Structure 1
Amino acid sequence: MLKVLIVEDEMFVRIGFKNSVNWEKFGMMVCADVSNGQEAWEIYLKMKPDIIITDLNMPVMSGMELIEQIRQIDNKTRIVILSCLEEFSLVQKAMRYGVSNYILKLTMEPEEIDEVLVKVSEEYKSHMRLQETKGVIHNPDTLKENIINNFLFYPLYSEQEFTNLVLKQKLRLSPENLIVSVMEINNFGLTRSKFKDSKGELIRYTILNVLNEMLIEWNRGEVFAEKEDRYVFLFSFIDVNSQKEIRETLLALMDHIRRVLNRYFNVSVTFGISRKGNRYGDLKALLSEAAEAVSWKFFLGTERSLFKEEYRWDNFHLQSQEKMEKLLTRWGNVLPDKHAERKAIVQSFFDSDVKDPKLWIQLFVRLLLIDYNPLLSIEAKALDTVSLAAEQVSQCETLEDCIQTVYRLLASIEQWNQTSRQLSKEVGKAIKYILAHYRESCSISELADTLQVSPNYLSSLFRKETALTFTDYLTQVRIDKAKELLLSTQLKSYEIAELTGFSDDSYFSRTFKNKTGVRPNEFRKMKVHEERGRDNAPFVAKD
């Protein structure tokens, strides 16, 4: 069993996290849980845990200080960060110390935690196997890939040992004019569904074979799969003299790869390209540069070749800020009530200098949920609801896609506002009453008494103007609110039923399935799996 140490100063978060995970399922056991870095350091020296899950901001000794101390003597122990979105600048710094992953406290779903723990466990076991074998394998088809992986990701070879292996295995590499490129498949969830390959192994095998064939044809470089949707190229240009020629050769090769993958597999890709290095020892830094460059597709657009040396983060970060300010102005004009709150959230986000596209998408979802309005759902055929917009944003590949999704939503809300202004005074008051009291027992008779009209008159008028009965409208509002809670909280089904006005969990579950086709828990799992398909693993761009 792998020993896990949990470090978190908030007692309820620590105990809740410890008790909410079925550790045995992952071959793990919690050996200790402590409230600060100093206590964790003492436990680490005494018990040598295999995995440490730690907060960053803690008294006595911070999580950052703990990580730094451990990494001075040990790079075997896997480390996962528990963090808030506001701490992301610290998360970026911590990632430089070989942190395996991170979990956002405010948004962590059980499935997300499971995925992180599975990956950390596999990473630890893989690291131990490689240490035991020193990377020696007997399958010639994977020998090249393992040599490169062992040098780039694990401290198994010195630079001289790697040089000797490159020569021995006749890899198409030389330490002169080294460049690393990272190729990322766009909209990978669609690619996986087309291949009908839930695990990604078929995709990896097929694309890797095609890429190797093209490199053989060009007699240049080596390639390996870092993840199912990401491939790393190592190039050397000992035969090319000028930087201009190197760039033109790279662009020609990448255009060729892009055309082949698009023609035969209907796959689109984006490339990130590092600057130039002149020794194998530069490869790790060059890989980091290429990974950062390919992540810029979120800001600059997909299906491009993005050279690290040609773009500055400050420039397109400023452009992104200007776009967001323009969007917020429009947002405030349409929905003024929460304008100050939205501006404060966005300003805090920009102050943190966040580069991770996944966190930008989470920002948009957070902003959208501020304005969640079940009222829009009655015009589902004509209007985008806020919840639907949040789902659409989670599938976006670029910042521009996210922004345009919100603009479309705001246009829909404006249209709805114009329509809703045509409602009679009685129906308008009825809708406001429902939105204020949907958690309670609501009846049209009580509402009619409040409005001093007959129930039959109000019922007829309501149906005429909304195309729904009072009961159907109330139920739809409750279902839409339940959807929001299922996607944005970890509340149990019975708790959500109580918060949304259903008499009991069984009735809530039946009604939810009648309206959506699935039970509440199935709806939550379905949305989580869809997100996993779109974004199989979080990526944090390096500074």
Structure 2
Amino acid sequence: MWKVLLVEDESFVRRTLRQLIRWEEMGFTIAGEAGDGREALAMMKSDPPDLVIADIIMPAMDGIELLKRSREEGLESAFVMLTCMNEFEYARQALEFGASGYLLKLSMNVKSLGEALAKVDRELTRTMQIRSQADSQKFQRLYRHYWRSIYGGEAGGTEEAGELAAEESLPYASIWIASFLHGSARFTLDDFRQLGLACAGSRTVMHTYAHLGQTTVFVWNPASAEFRQTAKGEGLPWPAAFSEVVAANRAKEAWREVLRALDGSWYGGRAGSGSAFAGDRSREDEPYPEVGWKTEREWIQSFERRNIDEFRERLRDGWADMERRRLPMAIVKETAVRLDRILARIAGCAGQAEEELGASVTHSELGERLLERARQYALRWSSGVQPVTGHPEIDKALAFIHRHSHEDVTLKGIASLVAMDEAYFSGLFKKKTGVTLIHYVQQVRVGHAKKLLDETSLPVAEVGERVGFPNTNYFIKIFKRWTERTPNEYRLLEGAEGEPT
């Protein structure tokens, strides 16, 4: 909602402007009125409006002088001038000084005023976008720093701390934060603005920070009064949480509370929204609980033994424990993505794109998706059937890889096979399978090697050569990368686990 200052020495003209149009429906609100340019300039210095609608001919200080003086003072408010039929020369001067347009008093109507406001709205939005993009990289570093700090990761070394010291000198007095759990739905700043949740000024800057189906919007303001939340968020299409308008130096604390509030929707399966700062701030420095490696290792071992029933029960028990302890949604999703990659490696399959897991909007939904992926990996592992992506060229490439994995498989050769540009094919392959071509080939070869190690007594060197690794040392290195064991360790451990006790 853009703030408007009406500057006109005739009160009935100001009254006509107020009543002529539904300002809020156009995205504007009248924040003040002035009877001449001198009064208006003082008001602009005190509380800069986004738009000034000013008469050209006024006592004390006319509209042209007001426009010139405001620019000299560094005020960036947009201007629309009011003029009479015989004042076109003044209107031309106003346009030269940067006015967005002018309106004829005698013929002004709903259409002409609406068109002028629509033009100003586009200009102000564009100005805010440019300002937001100008320091976007610096802010993204700051958001990553906050994120790692909130979730107990490494906050960065001395060098990064020095770079982020700029946070304390940011030219913003306050911040408002909103997080949306939108899943697979597209979400951008344009989508946020269309929700009509906030009244921000042209001096406001906005950014987003996205993580696995959840996006946070940061609204930085040069003054505490620059921003106000205009709606409580009822009826939103996704779960959401909002902060209060707080001092800029409380940004991390505010974000932490917003994310805590959103966790409530994650576990409760609610589709509504709520305010974030109703939580208990006494827990501010309390570390978040984590999923222990011992628990993850038990899941992995069950899958390695191909005991999918045991894996299912253990995962469901672990999922229930996460809900009981209220682990943060972000940690749960990162755990699911990491576990999915490990299971795919064990099964010798291409990992699926993580976006599907990230698109989950409830804890139970993510657990069921992960179980279904594990079931698919187990089936492919036992059947030796290569995955199908639904993309003809990628499926053709996968079939070729599975038939010829023991040969020299290269990106150039596969791209030529499916008649695609190498760079384009490489990106498409990773999008459809979740891994690069070389990693996929390695996984297939390691899968075949595991089978030979399980079922034969062939020397490690010969196993490597048969599956496509003529260099033994390289085979051992790649095998350990994907299984966390050397071929000999794998054979010994698998053999020991298979013997009766």
Q: TM-score, normalised by structure 1?
A: 0.32
Q: TM-score, normalised by structure 2?
A: 0.34
Pick 1 or 2: higher relative contact order, CA cutoff 8 A, min separation 6: 1
- Greater helix content: 1
